[in-house]
Structures are given as C-alpha cells and as structure tokens.
Amino acid sequence: MRYMMLIYSQENEAVTPEDMQAVAAAHGALMDETRRRGILSGADPLQASSTATVLRVQDGEALITDGPYAETKEQLAGYYILDCKDLDEALAWAAKIPTACAGMAGCVEIRPIREFPQRALVNA
Amino acid sequence: MHDHRATVESVFRQESGRIIAGLIRVSRSFDLAEEAMQDAFAAAVINWQADGVPANPAAWITATARRKLIDYARREQTRRNNEGQILYEYESRSCTIDEEMSRPFEDDRLSLIFTCCHPAINKQAQVALTLRTLGGLTTAEIARAFLLPEPTLAQRLVRAQRKIQQARIPYQVPDAGALPERLSAVQAVLYLVFNEGYSATSGDSLLRRELCAEAIRLARTLLELMPQNPENMALLGLMLLHDSRRDARSTADGQLLTLEEQDRSLWHQEQIAEGIALVERALGRRNFGPYQMQAAIAAVHAEARTAQETDWKQIAGLYVMLDRCQPSPVVSLNMAVAVAMSEGLDQGLAMIDSLGAGGELDSYHLYHAARADLLRRMGRNREALKNYQRGLALTTNAVELRYLRRRIAELAPSTATDSQDS
C-alpha cells in the first residue's frame, strides 16, 4: 500500500548553504535507496510557504488569497510517496526522512493513500 | 429446563480474547471478527439449550464463527458482483479461511495486543480496544468504567478500528528492533487499566474492581505469551501486590487510608505470596526495569507485618534504582520519604527541600503534601498545616482532596498550641 509522507518543517531564512546541502544530500540518499528497492513512487521538495496561493471556488466564483492554507509554525515542505507493506514499514522509512532545517527538527505526517478499487476482501 | 446462558457467558469470559484474536487474523477485520463471534455466541445460546453443551465449547464457537466469516465473504462477493465490480475468487478465499483457522493460533492474542496498543492509536482508544477485544468487555461496560458516554466510547472504538484497517496497522509481534519500546507501550496500557480501577473512587465500584481483575488477567496473559520477560513478571506481581490491599485501603465511607493506617490482617496473603514470588523470579534475571523496581517496593511493604517493621532502608535503595531507570518528580519525592523513614526525618526533609530548591515543584501538589507529611511527623504542625493547604489548593483529584482535608482537619485544632513553629 502507498503512503504519503508529508514533511513539515520550520522555515528558516537564515539557513546556511552548507546546511541546505547536507539536508539535500540526505534526501538524495534516501530517494536512491527507496528507488533501488522499487518502493519510491514520488518525492519532491516544495518552495517556501511564502510562495503559496490558496484558491477557493465559491458559488462558481474563484476566491484567490495569498499565503499557505494554514499559518502554522511548521509548514509543508515536501513529500514522499512510498509503497510499504504496512504502517510499521512506513514508520521505519519515515524515520529516515530528514525534517530538520538548520537544527530545527520538524515532523512527518504519514497518510495512507486511498486506492481504488478497494482490493480488500471486505470493508468497501 | 436449565438455562445455558450462564455457560455461554463463562465461555465468553474465558475464551473470547483467544477466539477473536484468531478471527481477526483470518478476516483482517475487527468488525467482521466481532460480528462473527457475536453471531456464534448468539447461536450457542439457542443450540446448546437444545443439544447440550459441546465437549469443547470454544472450538464450537470458533467453528461457528468461522462459518459466519465465510458467509460474510460470500455475501460481500454477491454484493460486489451485483455492483459489477471486479470478481474475486471467493471460493479460494473461503478455503484460506478454513486452513488458516485450523492452524494453531496461540500467538494470535499476542499479535492482537500489539495491534491494540500500537502507538499510532491514541492512548484512550488503545485502552478501550484492548478491553473490548482481549478483555471481552462490552462497550457499555467500558464506557461506565471510564465514566464516558457510551456513544463517545463507541465512536472512539470505531475510529481506531478504521485506522487499523485503513492505515494498515500490522497484526503481528513487532520485530526485535521495535519490540522493547512497543512492549513497554503494551505494559503501560495494562497498568493504566489497573490504575483506572485502583486509584479512582468515583464511579461504579463493582466495575472498578472488575477493571483491576481484568488488568490482572491481561497481565497474566501477557506473561503467558512472553514468559521470559522480567518486566512482564513484575507487572503482574505489582498488580497483585497492590490488589492484595484492596479491602484494607479505604474506610466504609470511602476515605482512603495510607499504608501506615491500614489493617494488615485484611491484606490478601495468597496474592502477596504470588506477587513476591514473581518479583523474586524477575529480579533473578538481572535485567532490571521500572516495573521490577516498583513491584519490589510493593513487595517490601507487603512483607512487613506492621508499618513499623517496614524496611525503609531497602525501599530507599529501590527508589534510587527506580529513579535511575525512570526519573520523575514522584519518584524523587518518594525516595526522600523513604530516606526520611530510614535515615531520619531531618535528612528526608533536607532532600525534599533540595528537590524543591529550583522552584519547578512549586506548582506540584505532591511536593507540598510530602513536605507536609514529614513536618507533621516532626511535630512542626503549623508548617505542616501550611503545606497541606498549599497542596490542597493545587490538587483536583477527589481522593487526594479528601486525604489533604482530613490532615488539615486533624492539624487545625492542635496548631493553636504548637510552640515549635514561630
């Protein structure tokens, strides 16, 4: 089953190029490893939340606002989609995802991807 | 005519955890497993009345529930076919259910307990799920025991079961790397169930006692499933040693009594003997952990025929070890009390004062209560009263409120003549 791993990090504008490089290298290594195992189904970093735009269509009208959906201390910074046999495997991979930016650790939200059609025996 | 309902109920009590664990394994669904088991027990009430109780009631229930599962699979199949969805080979699946069910399923309860206590499920839901599946308690019983509205608890259970299914929380014993951490999560859930029954005095007292008994039963099961683990031994021992004092620890009107005040002839010696034996066996493994230290402390108390005979020196040493593996303000305070009782009240008070020197404990009611207890023993009643009052202002726990109020009431008249404190 595929799990989406949403990376939430603090956005630090004072981050040094060395730190950035270290984080990028760690992501590169993880992507290589998961690709080699054939479980990487996607992974990308996102631009800072200051580049985000929210669109809401109400009564056929598009309402466009500046900024991310929620102003939180930690912002969505990137994602992985990995194919894992169960949540424990997903957790083990998620633990390897670097979330820190200049020493400020973030977190990873793990969400199972809803697959269609449901292949379970029951429980439609 | 003899009503077989009682027999069915006792089979349910004894075997439902084992049966449902196997049904969940083959159906991969808490809902279906529960439905199948309930249907099977309902069928038992009718069938056993007519045909008599079978030689192996649990096997009868399992076989009946298994047939129900196959029926459900067929029913689902039909539904899917009618909806024009992709065909599944239900026949082969039915076969698998049969084969899998006939495999020995000793370990199913262990897998189930790790699923129910998975850290991805919220703690209260872990507790409810464990009691519901392994303990065989009804949603209504659990709701009453935890003083929750039944719909709230039911919803919590549904949400947790859905998460297990949809996030695919595994149904297995975790691998060696994750095992220690996950096992301590299981132990924590069982101890929480016990404490829920043991420490609160509000609510249905019969149900609370039932909760303690259930926790002991589950701890026994855990030990049976992982018999080499010293913390499992200690957890069961700890529960038995606490539970042995159940008839002595409160007055008829529900006032909690301290160990010192309890009538020790009311302590249940059988449980104490079993508890102490478990503690000794666990400590013999020389692989210490927090439950062993707590159980050992409870054992030292249990061994003292009178409060005066308590080996406080040994207790102080055990608290030092407990503080090393599981440091917390409660442990530090208890350690100071044990030092006060073994080395002298002055030393104990000095220790408490140095703990409080940083100011972090100022808002902690037990700090003031512990300090008050020592001051009272030293005869410094006015100071003691002040500390009890400070503790009283900080606590919301009904049991502790009553205890502190009692102490305050005892001290209030005597402080007028107290000369030591100026």
Asked if pLDDT for residue B96 goes beyond 60, the answer is no
pLDDT(B382) > 70: yes
CA separation for the pair A52, A68 (Å, rounded): 5
Kindly state the DSSP code that residue A86 receives in the 8-state scheme: S
Residue A50 is given by DSSP the state G
pLDDT value at residue B419: 47
Residues of chain B neighbouring A1 (CB-CB closer than 8 A): 168
Which is more confident, A110 or A19?
Answer: A110
Q: Is the pLDDT of residue A12 over 90?
A: no
Average pLDDT, integer, range B130-151: 88
Across the interface, whether the CB atoms of A122 and B169 are under 8 A apart is answered no
If one compares B188 and B77, the residue with the highest pLDDT of the two is: B188
Question: Which segment of A48-52, A64-68, B172-176 scores lowest on mean pLDDT?
Answer: B172-176
* Residues of chain B with C-beta less than 8 angstroms from the C-beta of A122: 27, 29, 32, 72-73, 76
Contacts of B80 in chain A (CB under 8 A): 124
- Categorize the per-residue pLDDT at A116 as very low, low, confident or very high, splitting at 50, 70 and 90: confident
Q: Which of A111, A121, A123 to mutate to test the interface with B (most CBs of B within 10 A)?
A: A121
- Cβ separation B80–A124 shorter than 8 A: yes
Does the distance separating the beta carbons of B28 and A117 come in below 8 Å? no
Per-residue pLDDT at A14: 75
pLDDT tens readout for residues B4-15: 788 888 888 888
Cα dihedral value B5, B9, B10, B13, nearest 10: 180
B421, pLDDT greater than 50? no
Predicted local distance difference test score (pLDDT) of residue B94: 46
With beta carbons under 8 A apart, name residues in chain B contacting A87. 118, 120, 167-170
Closest-CA residue of chain B to A1: B168
- Residue B28 is nearest to which of A88, A111, A121, comparing CB atoms? A121
Tally Cβ neighbours within 10 Å of residue B78: 11
3-class DSSP assignment, residue B104 = coil
* Per-residue pLDDT at A60 exceeds 80: yes
pLDDT higher than threshold 70 for residue B75: yes
Per-residue pLDDT, averaged over B242-246, amounts to: 94
Q: Which residue has the higher pLDDT, A123 or B287?
A: B287
Cβ separation of A86 and B169 shorter than 8 Å?
A: yes
Chain A residues lying within 8 Å of B168, measured CB to CB: 1, 85-87, 112
Q: How many other C-beta atoms are found inside a 10 Å radius of the C-beta of residue B119?
A: 13
* pLDDT for A78 beyond 70: yes
Select the residue of A88, A110, A123 nearest B170 (Cβ to Cβ): A88
Q: Which of B124, B122, B128, B125 is nearest to B140 (CA)?
A: B128
Q: Which of B203-212, B312-321, B352-361 has the highest mean pLDDT?
A: B312-321
Q: Is A38 left (phi over 0), alpha (psi -120 to 50) or beta?
A: left
Contact B19, B138 (CB under 8 A): no
- Where does B169-256 have alpha helices with state H? 179-199, 205-225, 230-243
Radius of gyration of chain A (CA): 17
pLDDT band at B201 (very low <50, low <70, confident <90, very high): low
Chain A / chain B CB contacts < 8 angstroms: 47
Cα→Cα distances B291→B200, B330, B358, B361, Å: 21, 15, 29, 25
Tokens of B251: 């007055």
> pLDDT value at position B417?
53
Would you state the pLDDT for residue B38?
A: 92
**Residues A11, A77 contacting (CB under 8 angstroms):** yes
Would you state the pLDDT for residue A120?
54
pLDDT-based confidence at residue B371 (cuts at 50, 70, 90): very high
| Arithmetic mean of pLDDT, B42-64 | 90
Whether B73 sits inside 8 A of A122 (CB atoms) is yes
pLDDT score for A115 = 81
Does position A103 have pLDDT exceeding 90, yes or no? no
User: Which band of pLDDT confidence, cut at 50, 70 and 90, is reported for residue B320?
Assistant: very high
Q: Which of residues 149-168 of B touch A (CB under 8 A)?
A: 165-168
Determine the pLDDT at residue B397.
76
Q: In the predicted model, is pLDDT for residue B355 greater than 60? A: yes
Task: Specify the 3-state DSSP secondary structure of A81.
Answer: strand
CA gap B186, B287 in Å, rounded: 19
Judged by CB atoms closer than 8 Å, whether chains meet at A121 and B168 is answered as no
For tokens 């490089």, the residue is A21
User: Which tops the pLDDT comparison, B150 or B204?
Assistant: B150
Mean pLDDT of the B83-110 span: 51
Residue of chain A with shortest Cα separation from B171: A86
Judged by CB atoms closer than 8 Å, whether chains meet at A88 and B73 is answered as no
Q: Measured between CA atoms, how close is A27 to chain B, in angstroms? A: 24
Partner residue facing B32 (CB), from A87, A117, A122:
A122
Q: What is the mean pLDDT of residues B169-191?
A: 90
Stretch B108-122: mean pLDDT: 92
**B27:A121 CB<8 A:** yes
- Chain A residues interacting with chain B (CB cutoff of 8 angstroms): 1, 85-88, 91, 110-112, 114, 117, 120-124
Best of B32, B81, B168 to disrupt the A interface (most A CBs within 10 Å) is: B168
Q: With an 8 Å Cβ cutoff, are A110 and B174 in contact?
A: no
* B395 — pLDDT class (breaks 50, 70, 90): confident
Closest Cα in chain A, distance from residue B260 (Å): 47
Give me the percent of chain B exceeding a pLDDT of 70.
89
**Partner-chain contact B76 A88, CB within 8 Å:** no
**Do the Cβ atoms of B76 and A91 come within 8 Å?**
no
Q: Is B118 on the interface with A (CB under 8 A)?
A: yes
| Residue in B with minimal Cα distance to A3 | B167
Choose from B74-83, B143-152, B231-240, B390-399 the range with maximum mean pLDDT.
Answer: B231-240
Look at residue B359 in the predicted model and tell me its pLDDT: 85
CB contact under 8 A, A123 and B86: no
Query: At residue B256, what are phi and psi to the nearest 5 degrees?
Result: -75, 135
Residues of A in contact with B166 (CB under 8 A): 112, 114
Average pLDDT, integer, range B135-140: 87
For A114, the closest chain B residue by CA position comes to: B166
- Answer with the residue of higher pLDDT: B151 or A103: B151
Q: How far A81 CA sits from the closest chain B CA (Å)?
A: 14
**What was the pLDDT predicted at B203?**
57
pLDDT band at residue B418 using 50, 70 and 90 as cut-offs: low
Question: Do B345 and B378 meet the contact criterion of CB atoms below 8 Å apart?
Answer: yes
Q: What is the mean pLDDT of residues B291-309?
A: 97
Q: What is the pLDDT of residue B3?
A: 66
Supply the mean pLDDT for chain B.
Answer: 87
For residue B41, the tally of other CB atoms under 10 A from its CB is 18
